[in-house]
């Protein structure tokens, strides 16, 4: 087990290194394009040359990569062009607001979709199963931006229950979290519920559940004592990887509802070519993604010892 | 290892059954699955409207006729707007039809191109194994470790948004997932008797991979292709919505929503119809995938 965990951690490190090198190649390698973004298109050649010299862009790319990586690791992401402030100061509050949104989404979506999946998979092919599966396909088929539009249309314009934006201009307001969270929950619900249902249906088909039923155990005890615990193992990875998917989902939702979070910041940085901010956002999202993947793998290894060998 | 891609509607359901050979999909069997029939009809509807867009669409999608006409109005000179017109006076119905053509076209091209790359890589990795597999799999691992939309946003904003860049970005981001599925099936199929006998006959590796092995992966791949086509449609829509999609003035559904969403308060019909259009197409594809899955396991 220790060897398995260590190998996963080493793999995680190496993937992060490769991804950081790719990010560097994509955004940072060409000093001339960086300087245009920082100083603007109307800077003179001399200004650009001086800037490149002062900021070490004329050094060997290898040296530059490692000093860049070192800066990243110590949290020195450079200065945002747009906000005229250190990137880290811009980034942290945005990450915190996204964390709040994501936590809310998880706390509601996971229990809801797991329960729905268990109920549907408990009696495969039954009426309840059909109904839940149908709802699940519907909610995953509506892209986040479309459901955001439709939900806004219903709850804001028709019913007038919420405000259309979640910019939180006058302090934190939990009411403004409701619509963005609802959109994310709808899209994620169907996926997790379907996975849970498939796994539950598999387990209900297995020999030990049949044995338990045949020895006369009441149905609810079969479900609670034998089925659910094993049915939770397979979707575990998918559930953890939902964090990754949330990173994508928040870009759309935060943009739509003008919520001041990490996703909106990343989009803004890429649209305004705010290069250091964009680098930092990319690296943060990759680190989060790779870490959740490692947690999913290691956790799965704990739950299902058979995969540890490979 | 972590064999589940990050896309919400992706594989997972196409788990490889190591015992039974993947069965072929029998097309008539699809007719017994109501969900599959509904899905197929929705898809067919959009395919037909896209192909015959020049005949069906009442107006040009870029012609500026009369602004802010609500749905179902007839103007004084006898022009009828079933879904109304947008802020620039363009007919929404015509834009939906032409936009569907554009979205379907790019989604199909992008998904096919991802499939060509992914299937080839998967066949090669699964058939040759060894260092070839190691190299291809680690490339796939690295690409899959990016959160998918972050990858799209960074690629498109760096290289600019155009149809070809969207196709390349989708290929880059989804080929690794396809490769993993194909690779896993090939691992299972490569020891079958018909493969061994082809090897004994002295057939080339190319022949064995593409003629002997590939046709036997089809039921898994067809289901996956439907789901992926739906996901690519969503991706193109999302990019359009974020302002990184296919360039205007030609319509695409995501772009239509982005352009007119500031007027949603008094003219919601402008954004509601593209939303319904894209949701129905994705729903149709997901239903079709479900139906195909059911009928392949009959």
pLDDT of residue A169: 67
Percent of chain B with pLDDT over 70: 89
Widest distance between CA atoms in chain A: 87
pLDDT of residue A86: 85
Q: Which residues of chain B have pLDDT under 70?
A: 1-29, 297-298
Using a CB–CB cutoff of 8 Å, tell me whether A153 touches chain B.
yes
- Distance, in Å, from the CA atom of A263 to the CA atom of A288, rounded to the nearest integer, reads 13
Nearest partner of B279 among B212, B217, B234, B222, judged by Cα = B234
Percentage helix, strand, coil, to 5, in chain A? Answer: 80, 0, 20
Closest residue in B to A140 (Cα) is B9
Q: Would you say B263 and B7 are in contact if contact means Cβ atoms under 8 Å apart?
A: no
pLDDT of residue B105: 94
CA distances from B226 to A148, A186, B11, B38, B39 (A): 24, 21, 11, 14, 10
- Distance, in Å, from the CA atom of B160 to the CA atom of B30, rounded to the nearest integer, reads 42
**Residue B165 CB coordination number (10 Å):** 18
With an 8 Å Cβ cutoff, are A26 and B261 in contact? Answer: no
Strands B73-74 and B80-81: antiparallel
How many contacts (CB atoms, under 8 Å) link A and B? 143
pLDDT of residue B297: 64
With an 8 Å Cβ cutoff, are B8 and A245 in contact? Answer: yes
**Which chain B residues contact residue A290 at CB under 8 A?**
145
With an 8 Å Cβ cutoff, are B150 and A18 in contact? Answer: no
With an 8 Å Cβ cutoff, are A145 and B7 in contact? Answer: no
**Chain mean position to CA B100:** 13
- Distance, in Å, from the CA atom of B274 to the CA atom of B102, rounded to the nearest integer, reads 13
- Distance, in Å, from the CA atom of A133 to the CA atom of B287, rounded to the nearest integer, reads 11
pLDDT in tens, A222-268: 888 888 888 888 788 778 878 878 888 888 899 888 888 899 999 88
CA distances from B87 to A310, B64, B109, B262 (A): 59, 9, 31, 10
Rounded (5°) CA angle A269-A270-A274: 50
d(CA B9, nearest CA chain A) in Å: 7
d(CA A103, nearest CA chain B) in Å: 18
With an 8 Å Cβ cutoff, are A157 and B278 in contact? Answer: no
Which residue among B141, B150, B268 sits closest to A282, beta carbon to beta carbon?
Answer: B150
pLDDT in tens, B91-144: 889 899 999 999 999 999 999 999 999 999 999 998 888 899 989 988 888 888
Per-residue pLDDT, averaged over A150-160, amounts to 82
CA distances from B73 to A78, B67, B259, B262 (A): 56, 12, 22, 22
Percent of chain A with pLDDT over 90: 6
């Amino acid at each position: 087990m220790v060897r398995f965990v260590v190998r996963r951690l080493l793999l995680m490190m190496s993937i992060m290194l490769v991804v950081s090198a790719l990010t560097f190649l994509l955004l940072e390698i060409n000093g001339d394009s960086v300087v245009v973004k920082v100083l603007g298109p109307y800077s003179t050649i001399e200004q650009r040359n001086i800037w490149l010299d002062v900021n070490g862009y004329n050094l060997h790319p290898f040296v530059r990569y490692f000093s860049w990586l070192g800066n990243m690791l110590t949290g020195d992401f450079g200065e945002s062009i747009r906000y005229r402030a250190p990137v880290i100061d811009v980034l942290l509050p945005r990450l915190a607001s996204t964390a709040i949104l994501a936590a809310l989404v998880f706390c509601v979506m996971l229990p809801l979709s797991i329960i729905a999946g268990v109920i549907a998979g408990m009696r495969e092919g039954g009426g309840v199963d059909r109904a839940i599966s149908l709802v699940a396909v519907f909610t995953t088929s509506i892209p986040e931006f479309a459901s955001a539009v439709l939900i806004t249309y219903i709850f804001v314009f028709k019913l007038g229950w919420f405000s259309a934006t979640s910019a939180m201009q006058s302090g934190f307001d939990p009411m403004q979290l409701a619509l963005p969270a609802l959109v994310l929950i709808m899209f994620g619900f169907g996926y997790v519920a379907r996975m849970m249902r498939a796994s539950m249906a598999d387990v209900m088909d297995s020999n030990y559940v049949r044995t338990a039923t045949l020895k006369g155990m009441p149905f609810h005890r079969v479900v609670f004592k034998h089925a659910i615990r094993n049915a939770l193992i397979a979707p575990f990875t998918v559930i953890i990887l939902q964090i990754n998917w949330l990173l994508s989902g928040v870009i759309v939702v935060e943009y739509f509802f003008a919520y001041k979070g990490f996703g909106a910041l990343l989009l803004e940085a890429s649209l305004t070519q705010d290069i250091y901010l964009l680098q930092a956002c990319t690296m943060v999202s990759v680190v989060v993604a790779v870490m959740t993947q490692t947690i999913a793998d290691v956790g799965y290894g704990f739950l299902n010892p058979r995969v540890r060998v490979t | 290892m972590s064999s589940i891609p990050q896309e919400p509607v992706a594989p997972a359901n196409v788990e490889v059954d190591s015992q039974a050979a993947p069965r072929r999909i029998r097309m008539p069997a699809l007719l017994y699955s109501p969900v599959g029939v509904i899905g197929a009809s929705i898809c067919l509807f959009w395919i037909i409207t896209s192909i015959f867009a020049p005949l069906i669409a009442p107006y040009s999608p870029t012609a500026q006729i009369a602004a802010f006409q609500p749905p179902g109005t007839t103007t004084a000179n006898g022009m009828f707007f079933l879904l109304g017109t947008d802020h620039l006076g363009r007919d929404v119905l015509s834009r939906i039809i032409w936009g569907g053509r554009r979205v379907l076209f790019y989604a199909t091209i992008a998904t096919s191109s991802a499939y060509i790359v992914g299937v080839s890589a998967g066949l090669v990795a699964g058939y040759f194994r060894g260092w070839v597999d190691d190299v291809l799999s680690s490339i796939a691992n690295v690409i899959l470790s990016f959160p998918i939309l972050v990858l799209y946003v960074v690629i498109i904003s760096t290289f600019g948004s155009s149809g070809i860049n969207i196709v390349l970005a989708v290929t880059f981001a989804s080929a690794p997932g396809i490769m993993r599925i194909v690779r896993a099936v090939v691992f299972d199929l490569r020891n079958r008797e018909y493969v061994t006998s082809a090897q004994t006959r002295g057939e080339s590796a190319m022949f064995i991979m593409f003629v002997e092995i590939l046709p036997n992966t089809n039921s898994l791949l067809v289901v996956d292709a439907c789901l992926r086509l739906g996901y690519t449609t969503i991706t193109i829509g999302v990019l359009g919505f974020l302002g990184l999609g296919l360039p205007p003035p030609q319509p695409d559904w995501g772009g239509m929503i982005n352009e007119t969403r500031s007027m949603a308060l008094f003219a919601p019909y402008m954004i509601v119809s593209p939303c319904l259009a894209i949701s129905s197409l994705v729903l149709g594809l997901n239903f079709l995938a479900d139906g195909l899955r059911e009928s392949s396991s009959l």
